[in-house]
Amino acid sequence: MKSHQSNEQLDELISQAVSRQRPTFDFDKWKRKHKDEIQVFKQQTAGEQTLHSPRPFNIWRTIMKSRITKLAAAALIITAAFVGVHYSGGSIDPATIAWADVTERVTEVDYVHFYYLKSRNNRLTRQFEGWYAHGKMVIRGDSGDATYDDGQTLQGFDGHKRRTVKRPSNFAEGQTFLQWFIGGLLSDENEQFSQQIPTNVGDDFLIYKFDPPSEDSDWIESIFVTVGKNSLLPVQMKVYHKDQDYDLVIFDYEAPEKPAEFFEPPITSEEPPHGAGEVVLDGEEVVIDIAGAPGIKTAVVRLHSKSSDNSGEPTFSLDVAFIIEEGYRSITNDLIRLKLNEAKKCGLGADNWPDGKYRNIRFTPLLKPTEKEDTCIVEISCWLRTEEDRF
């Protein structure tokens, strides 16, 4: 959905702007530099030294050795295993169940299968299928692209299995799959949402309708979430845009669970690129013949501005333009920053072609090192989308 995609784009930009490798602390070196403070500290605490354990103990080991807490933990596991029978529909008036109860319920879910569909101009234009299990998620798009989140790192791959996104996992900080989807749209912190009660109560479902947060009211009309009346689990979420478009997510908790290896991201590219050529740092433009990408004849690339990021890895600027079958040259995308062996999802063109037609070129450049320090092989995979492909 738009919010999610923009969020990823923004995350990447912010990371590029400020990220660096996590610094490590050398306590021995620090002690050598701060002998005076240490001396004072030792004098201050000399009388208390024997009152406290000199080493910390493992609190989890202690807790789990207790028989009572072992039983409590077992009960917790059994409770969590009974997904789907949370609310029996007895004494609680379903019309009073707040959205916060639903989001709380979702924290107990360990496995869900889902479909994510985009409708544009009354046509389903993109489909994704996803699986979340035990803190890991895989989402596969209908154009072969895929996103893998292993709980530590989120990685996106294009249809050629080239990695195009890499950033910290959304699950590392304890987000649920629902929060992952919703992004900032229905923040738990906002009481307007957390206190929301169903607008419709049916025999089997509760329907929550949300007005968009003010920041998103320019493009979102409303958000509907359908929740199982007994399970309190969301089964469908629909985000209506102002322009009649919508995004639909369908959640399914009964699909067979996938094996662990299913959640492992691909390691290498499986398909050859549409074109490749040698580029020299700060050299001339290089024209690369493109094959197997209908509508695109050549790519024109230039490599320049080598620098190091905070981790010391070299980063390059790559300017890319394309010449299409009609002979037109696209505008140049000159905002591409690439690390070696790390592909990036890019795009250019839209309504700015000489004949006024809509054309959008999606492409994935990848730089590979050579034996020469300032010479690289650039591989390009590309796809041309026209007006017909747009909706």
Partner 1 sequence: MLVEAALGGDLESFGELCSGYYASMVAIAYSVLGDHQLAEDAAQETFARALGNLGGLKNKTKFAPWLAAICRNVAKDVVTNRLRRINAEDLCEVADSSGSDDSIRAVRQAIEQLPVPAKELVILRYYDGLSYEEISTVLGISRAAINGRLTRAKRKIAKYLQRNGFLENRL
Ranges within 177-206 binding partner 1 (CB under 8 A): 179, 183-184, 187-190
Nearest residue (CB) to partner 1, 38 versus 75: 38
Which member of 172, 276, 281, 377 binds partner 1 (CB under 8 A)? 172
Output the smallest distance, CB 15 to partner 1, in A.
5
Task: Give, as ranges, the residues between 235 and 274 that touch partner 1 (CB under 8 A).
Answer: none
Nearest residue (CB) to partner 1, 293 versus 361: 361
Nearest residue (CB) to partner 1, 19 versus 125: 19
Instruction: Work out whether 24 is an interface residue with partner 1 (CB under 8 A).
Output: yes
Task: Give, as ranges, the residues between 80 and 119 that touch partner 1 (CB under 8 A).
Answer: none
Output the smallest distance, CB 22 to partner 1, in A.
4
Instruction: Work out whether 352 is an interface residue with partner 1 (CB under 8 A).
Output: no
Q: Can you list the pairs that 358-364 forms with residues at least 24 positions away whose Cβ atoms lie under 8 Å? A: 358/386, 358/387, 358/390, 359/295, 359/324, 359/330, 359/384, 359/385, 359/386, 360/384, 360/385, 360/390, 361/296, 361/322, 361/324, 361/330, 361/385, 363/299, 363/320, 363/322, 364/158, 364/160, 364/162, 364/164
**Alpha-carbon distances of 296 from 283, 285, 327, rounded to whole Å:** 24, 18, 9
Nearest residue (CB) to partner 1, 30 versus 262: 30
Output the smallest distance, CB 215 to partner 1, in A.
5
Q: How many residues bind partner 1 (CB under 8 A)?
A: 71
**Alpha-carbon distances of 134 from 107, 138, 151, 177, rounded to whole Å:** 11, 12, 9, 10
| Both tokens assigned to 366 | 């990848």
The stretch near partner 1 (CB under 8 A) out of 80-88, 106-114, 244-252, 303-311 is 303-311
Rounded distance between C-alpha atoms, residue 202 and residue 214, angstroms = 29
Instruction: Work out whether 61 is an interface residue with partner 1 (CB under 8 A).
Output: no
Output the smallest distance, CB 42 to partner 1, in A.
7
* String of contacts with partner 1 for each residue 200-239, x by CB under 8 A: ---------------xx-xx--------------------
Between β-strands 146-149 and 375-386, what pairing exists: parallel, antiparallel or unpaired? unpaired
- Asked if residue 155 lies in contact with residue 163, where contact means CB atoms within 8 angstroms, the answer is yes
Instruction: Work out whether 173 is an interface residue with partner 1 (CB under 8 A).
Output: yes
Nearest residue (CB) to partner 1, 126 versus 161: 126
Output the smallest distance, CB 118 to partner 1, in A.
14
Nearest residue (CB) to partner 1, 99 versus 131: 99
Instruction: Work out whether 46 is an interface residue with partner 1 (CB under 8 A).
Output: yes
Segment (H or E) for 32: helix 27-33
CA angle 202, 206, 209 (to 5 degrees): 120
* String of contacts with partner 1 for each residue 26-45, x by CB under 8 A: -x--xx-xx--xx-xxx-xx
Q: How many residues make up the chain in this entry?
A: 391
Which member of 55, 203, 327, 388 binds partner 1 (CB under 8 A)? 55
Instruction: Work out whether 51 is an interface residue with partner 1 (CB under 8 A).
Output: yes
Output the smallest distance, CB 82 to partner 1, in A.
26
Question: 13: buried, middle or exposed (CB in 10 Å: 19+, 13-18, 0-12)?
Answer: exposed
Nearest residue (CB) to partner 1, 52 versus 67: 52
- Output the 3-class SS for 80-94: HHCCCCCCCCCCCCH
Task: Give, as ranges, the residues between 304 and 343 that touch partner 1 (CB under 8 A).
Answer: 305-310, 315, 317, 334-335, 337
Instruction: Work out whether 15 is an interface residue with partner 1 (CB under 8 A).
Output: yes
Say which residues have a Cβ less than 8 Å from residue 229's Cβ, sequence separation at least 6: 87, 89, 94, 201, 202, 203, 204, 205, 206
Say which residues have a Cβ less than 8 Å from residue 281's Cβ, sequence separation at least 6: 303, 304, 306, 316, 374, 375, 376
